[in-house]
Amino acid sequence: MSSQKATPQIRTRSLKTWSAFGNLGRRPTEYEITAHNMNHTTGAIPLELGPDVNGNAWLLEHRDATKLRVADWDLFRDPAALTYGKYVAEQDDQETYIELLLEQFDRDGADRTLSVQALDMLGRALAPSRYLGHGLQMLSAYLQQLASSSYVANCAAFQTADQLRRVQLNAYRTTQLNRSHPDRGFATSERGHWENDTNWQPIRRAVELALVEFDWDRALVATNLVVKPVADLLLIDLLGRQLAAAGDHLDALMLDNLWRDSRRSQSWTAALTSFLLESDSSNGPVLQGYLDEFAPLGFAMIESGVQLLSVDGDQESAHLAAGVRADWATIVEAGGLRLGTG
Amino acid sequence: MLLNRDDWYDTSRDLDWTFTYVEASDAFPARWSGVGAESADAWQAWDEPFRVSYRDYVRIQREKESGVKAVRSAMMRAGVYEKLDAGHVAASHLHMGTTCMVEQMAVTMQSRFCRFAPSPRWRNLGVFGMLDETRHAQLDLLFSHDLLKFDPRFDWAQKAFHTNEWGVLAVKNFFDDIMLSADCVEASLAASLTVEHGFTNIQFVALAADAMAAGDVNWSNLLSSIQTDEARHAQVGFPTLAVLMETDPARAQTSLDVAFWRSTRLFQVLTGPAMDYYTPLDQRKMSFKEFMLEWIVNHHERILEDYGLKKPWYWDQFMHSLENGHHALHIGTWYWRPTLFWKPNAGVSKDEREWLREKYPTWEDNWGVMWDEIIKNVNDDRIQDTLPVTLPSLCNLTQLPIGSAMSRHDLEPHQLVYKERLYSFDSEISQWCFEQDPERYAGHRSFVDRFIGGEILPPDLGGALAYMGLTPDVMGDDAYGYAWAKDYVTAEAG
Ligand SMILES: [Fe+2]
Ligand SMILES: [Fe+2]
C-alpha cells in the first residue's frame, strides 16, 4: 500500500518552473509564469458541480459545444505579454500623460475657444460614445469569462479595463464641456442621442445584437473583429482626426492616446485568430463564416457613423467611409481573415 | 477648469439605456444577473460603497506592485525561506495550493459582474475587482514560482486545481459554486460579503500576523498587500444586500445562512489547522476560535443586525462547531496525511497541548484522547498504525469528512434520499443547506461516490492517491518526522 511507502524520507527533486510547462527548453518569461494553465474548468464537466447546474450548462453549451478546434489553448501568447504589473505601470504612464494634457489645455482656456463645428461634433459624437464604451466593456468582459485559456482571458480582462478608462475620460470631458458650455446639453442629452439619433442606431444595434451572442466563438468575432474595431476606427481614430481638423486638439490628443488601447486589442485579436487558423484547418471556415455573417453590422456602422463625423457633405462621408472600410479590412487581414465587400 | 472625481463620477455611471434591437432580458438573463424583470427597477438604487477612478487605481496599484516586488527580491536575496520553521512552511504550501486558483476564479466572478450585474454602477466597479483578482493570482504565482527550487509543493499553486486531491476538490466545489455558477446577486452575497469581507480576514490578517512572527516577511507582506485590495472590493456585497432586503429578504437570509456555514467549514480546514497547529507556538497571535469570534462572528452578527436579518437558526450548533470542527479536521488531515500535498505539523507536543487546553477547555476530552492513541503508536514504533488504510466518508454538501463538524461525541447520522439517491452530511446544518436548493448540489459526485462507483482504480488507498495526483515528492508526512512525540516517551515508560 502506497501510504506505507510514503513515510520514508523522500528526496525532493528541485523544480525550475511549473511542471505544467513540460519540456519548454528555455526559461519561461514572467508573463508566462503568471498566465500559464490557469483555467481549471476545461475538463469534461467544467465545474466541480453537477453537470446540469447553471455554470456547467452554460459552459458546456456556449464554450465547449462551439466549433473551434484547438489541441492546446495554452500555446497562445499575447503579443504585448501583459502582466498585471506591466498593465498598471503602462496605463499609469498614459494617464499621467492625459493629466498633463488636461492641465495644459485648461491653462490655455481651450474649451472656451472651441469652434461651433467642434462643439457640434463633440455633442453628437464624442459625448454619447460613453454608452458605446460601456457596451464594449460588457462585451469584452464576456470574452474573458468563457475563454478556454487563461492567456486569452487575461487579454480580455485588460481590454475590459481599457473600456472603463475610456468611459471615465469621456465623462471627465463631458463634464468639463458642460461647465464651459452649459447651454449645449452636455452630460444630459447623450442618452437621447444614443437611443434616437438615426446615425447612432446602426452602432447601437450592433452592440445590442453582439450582447446576445453567447457562444464564445461567435462573441469573439462579433466583438473583437466587428463591433469593437469598427467602433474604435470611427469614434476614436476618425473622430480624433476630425476634431483635430475642427481645431479641438485636446480631444484629438486624448483620443489618439485611447487609440493605443484599441491597437493593443487589435493586435492580440490578430494573434489569436492567426493562432486559431494554425491550430486546426477547420477553424478558418468557421471564423470566416462568422465574420461574413456579422460584417454587414460593421458596414452599416460605418455608413451611418461617418455621418456623425462628417462636416462637409456626402462626398466627404463617402471618402471617410472608404477609409474606415480599408482600415477595418487591414485589421481583419492581420489575423488571416478576409473582409467581404459591404 | 480641472475636475475632481466627484465632479464627473455621476456621468461616468449614467450608462443604462433602453434596449430596442434585442430584449433586455435576453441581454441580461436572470440566470446570471440574479434579477427578474419584476425587480429590475429596484436595482437602480444600488450605490457604490466606494468610489475609485481608473486614473487613481493604476497609480496606487503600481506603487503597491513596486512595494511587493522590492520585498520579494530582498527576501529572496536574504535567503529567508530556507530558515523558516517547517510547520510555518506547511501553512504557506496549504495557502498557495488552495488559494491561488481561487484568486483566478475571482477574476471571472468579477468579470461576470462587469457583464451581467443589474446596475451599471456595479458593472463598473467589477472592473476594479477583476483587476485586483488578476493581481492576486499573479502575485501568488510569482511568489510560489520563486520558491519552487526549494520545494516542489509550490508547484501546487498552479497545479492543485487540475488534480483530484480531495481537499482541493472541497475548495473547488465551494468556489465553483459561489463564484462560477452563481448569479451576480448570489455571488456577491456568498463570495463578496461572506467570504471576502468576512472569512478571508483569517487568511489575510491572521495568517499575515503569524507569518510576520515566523520571520516570513515576504509572505506576510504579500498577504497584507492583497488584503488592501480585498477590503475595498469586498464591499460590493453591501449595496447588493441593501437592495435585496427591499426585493426579497427571505432570499437574503437563506443565501447568507448557507454561505456562512459553508465558509465556516471550509476555513476550518484551510486555516484552523494552520493557526492552531502548524504555526510554531511562540509565534501564534490568536487562536483560530478567538480570531473567528473577534473578526468573523462579530462582524457577521453586526451585518445581520444592521440589515434587519436574523441570526441563523443553527447558531448554537455553529458555536459548538467553532469549538471542535477544526480540531476534528486537523486530526483527520494529519491521519490521512498521505492524501495531502503539504506536511502537516501534529502540533500536540506537551507545550502545545497546554496551549490547546487553555484555548479550548473541551479539547482534552474530545481530541486529546485520540492523540494519545497516536502518540502511543508513534512511540512504540508502530507508525503504520497511525496511517490510513481506507478513505473517510464525505459530506455531500461540504465534501469534508463525516464526523468532522462537531465533537467526537456528536455522531448521529444525517442522511436523506433525494430522487432515489442517498446523500450523507456532516451535520444537520449541511443537510439543511442541501434542502434549501437540492438541484444545486444533487448532481455532484463526491470523491467517495466516485470511489464506490469504480472510477478510482485500483479501489484502494494507493489507487486513490494516484487518482489525486499525489506524487511521493509532495505527499504529506509529519512535518517534523514525529520529533514532537518524544515529549511523551519518559512519561509513558514511567
Ligand atoms: Fe483576491
Ligand atoms: Fe477578492
pLDDT by position in tens, chain B (length 494): 899 999 999 999 999 999 999 999 999 999 999 998 888 899 999 999 999 999 999 999 999 999 999 999 999 899 999 999 998 999 999 999 999 999 999 999 999 999 999 999 999 999 999 999 999 999 999 999 999 999 999 999 999 999 999 999 999 999 999 999 999 999 999 999 999 999 988 888 888 998 999 999 999 999 999 999 999 999 999 999 999 999 999 999 999 999 999 999 999 999 999 999 999 999 888 999 999 999 899 999 999 999 999 999 999 999 999 999 999 999 999 999 999 999 999 999 999 999 999 999 999 999 999 999 999 999 999 999 999 988 889 999 999 999 999 999 998 999 999 999 999 999 999 999 999 999 999 999 999 999 999 999 999 989 999 999 999 999 999 999 999 999 999 755 44
Q: Is the pLDDT of residue A200 over 70?
A: yes
Residue contact B181–A54, C-beta within 8 A = yes
Residue contact B8–A88, C-beta within 8 A = no
Residue contact A157–B18, C-beta within 8 A = no
Give the confidence band of A5 by pLDDT, cuts at 50, 70, 90: very low
DSSP characters over B209-272:
HHHHHTT-HHHHHHHHHHHHHHHHHGGGHHHHHHHHHHH-HHHHHHHHHHHHHHHHHHHHHHTH
Nearest by CB to A175, which of B8, B101, B137? B8
Please tell me the distance from the alpha carbon of residue B340 to that of residue B171, in angstroms, as a whole number.
13
Please indicate if any CB of chain B lies within 8 Å of the CB of A149: no
Which H helix or E strand runs over B414?
Answer: strand B414-418
**Residue labelled with grid coordinates 479550548:** B360
Give me the long-range contacts of B290-294 (CB less than 8 A, separation at least 24): B290/B359, B291/B201, B291/B202, B291/B206, B292/B202, B292/B267, B292/B322, B293/B322
Domain spans of chain A? 80-333
Which H helix or E strand runs over B370?
Answer: helix B369-379
CATH number 1.10.620.20 given to A80-333: yes
Question: What pLDDT is attached to residue B494?
Answer: 40
Q: What residues contact residue B21 under an 8 Å CB cut-off, 6+ apart? A: A204, A205, A208, A209
Nearest by CB to A205, which of B2, B21, B477? B21
Residue contact B115–A145, C-beta within 8 A = yes
Query: Helix A129-146 to helix A150-180 angle, to the nearest 10 degrees?
Result: 170
C-alpha distances out from residue B441 to B193, B397, B415, B430, Å: 22, 7, 14, 11
User: What is the nearest CA distance from A165 to chain B, expressed in angstroms?
Assistant: 6
CA nearest to A14 within chain B: B149
Question: What pLDDT is attached to residue A160?
Answer: 98
Q: Is the pLDDT of residue A3 over 80?
A: no
User: What is the nearest CA distance from B6 to chain A, expressed in angstroms?
Assistant: 10
Which H helix or E strand runs over B485?
Answer: none
Please tell me the distance from the alpha carbon of residue B337 to that of residue B375, in angstroms, as a whole number.
16
Please tell me the distance from the alpha carbon of residue B327 to that of residue B330, in angstroms, as a whole number.
5
Q: What are the structural domains, with CATH classification, of chain B?
A: 38-493 (1.10.620.20)
Q: How far is the CA of B226 from the centre of ligand 1 (A)?
A: 7
Chain B residues whose CB is inside 8 A of the A137 CB are: 114, 123-124, 127
CB-based burial of residue B22 (10 Å sphere; 0-12 exposed, 13-18 middle, 19+ buried)?
Answer: middle
3-state helix, strand, coil in chain A (%, to 5): 75, 0, 25
Whether the Cβ atoms of residue B90 and residue B274 lie closer than 8 Å to each other: yes
Give the confidence band of A9 by pLDDT, cuts at 50, 70, 90: very low
Question: What pLDDT is attached to residue A332?
Answer: 98
Query: Is A47 in a helix, a strand, or coil?
Result: coil
Question: What is the largest distance, in Å, between two alpha-carbon atoms of chain B?
Answer: 87
- Closest by Cα among B252, B263, B261, B244 to B179: B263
C-alpha distances out from residue B145 to B69, B142, B156, B474, Å: 14, 5, 10, 15
Looking at per-residue pLDDT, the higher value among A228 and B285 belongs to A228
ipTM for this prediction: 0.96
> Amino acid identity of B436?
Q
Q: Which ligand approaches the C-alpha of residue B188 most closely?
A: 2
Residue contact A92–B58, C-beta within 8 A = yes
DSSP characters over A91-126:
HHHHHHHHHHHHHHHHHTTGGGG--HHHHHHIIIII
DSSP characters over A226-283:
IIHHHHHIIIIIIHHHHHHHTT-HHHHHHHHHHHHHHHHHHHHHHHHHHHHHHH-TTH
Query: Is B416 in a helix, a strand, or coil?
Result: strand
**Residue labelled with grid coordinates 486624448:** A254
Residues within 8 A of B (CB atoms), A 49-108 only: 49-56, 58, 83-85, 87-89, 91-92, 95-96, 98-99, 102-103, 106
Whether the Cβ atoms of residue B184 and residue B32 lie closer than 8 Å to each other: yes
Question: What pLDDT is attached to residue A342?
Answer: 57
Q: What residues contact residue B388 under an 8 Å CB cut-off, 6+ apart? A: A3, B335, B336, B338, B339, B461
Nearest by CB to B131, which of A37, A84, A171? A84
> Amino acid identity of B130?
M
Q: Which residues, listed in sequence order, are joined to residue B401 by a DSSP beta bridge?
A: B394
Q: Is the peptide bond before B458 cis (omega within 30 degrees of 0)?
A: yes
- Closest by Cα among A269, A290, A278 to A333: A269
Give the confidence band of A12 by pLDDT, cuts at 50, 70, 90: low
Chain B residues whose CB is inside 8 A of the A204 CB are: 17, 20-21
User: What is the nearest CA distance from A133 to chain B, expressed in angstroms?
Assistant: 9
Please tell me the distance from the alpha carbon of residue B270 to that of residue B263, in angstroms, as a whole number.
10
Residues present in chain B in total: 494
Provide the number of CB pairs (under 8 Å) joining chain A to chain B. Answer: 268
Please indicate if any CB of chain B lies within 8 Å of the CB of A161: yes
- Give counts: helices (H), strands (E), chain B: 26, 2
Mutate to test the interface with A, among B2, B12, B162, B183 (most CBs of A within 10 A): B12
Chain A residues whose CB is inside 8 A of the B439 CB are: 50, 52-53
Alpha-carbon dihedral B423, B426, B428, B429, rounded to 10 degrees: -100
Please indicate if any CB of chain B lies within 8 Å of the CB of A204: yes
Specify the range with the lowest mean pLDDT, choosing from A4-13, A26-35, A214-223, B339-348.
A4-13
Q: Which ligand approaches the C-alpha of residue B109 most closely?
A: 2
Question: What pLDDT is attached to residue A11?
Answer: 54
Q: How far is the CA of B215 from the centre of ligand 2 (A)?
A: 26
The end-to-end CA distance of chain B, in Å, is 86
Q: Is the pLDDT of residue A8 over 70?
A: no
Please tell me the distance from the alpha carbon of residue A270 to that of residue A238, in angstroms, as a whole number.
21
Residue-wise pLDDT tens digits, A108-155: 999 999 999 999 999 999 999 999 999 999 999 999 999 999 999 999
Question: What pLDDT is attached to residue A13?
Answer: 66
Q: What residues contact residue A186 under an 8 Å CB cut-off, 6+ apart? A: A122, A123, A127, A174, A175, A177, A178
Q: How far is the CA of B99 from the centre of ligand 1 (A)?
A: 9
Q: Is the pLDDT of residue A1 over 80?
A: no
Residue-wise pLDDT tens digits, A256-309: 999 999 999 999 999 999 999 999 999 999 999 999 999 999 999 999 999 999
Question: What pLDDT is attached to residue B331?
Answer: 97
Residue contact A18–B460, C-beta within 8 A = no
Q: Is the pLDDT of residue A6 over 50?
A: no
- Closest by Cα among B230, B322, B225, B319 to B275: B322
Q: How far is the CA of B132 from the centre of ligand 1 (A)?
A: 7
Residue contact B127–A58, C-beta within 8 A = no
Whether the Cβ atoms of residue A206 and residue A235 lie closer than 8 Å to each other: no
For A315, what's the count of Cα atoms within 13 Å in the CB-facing half-sphere? Answer: 1
* Percentage of chain A lying above the pLDDT 70 cut: 96
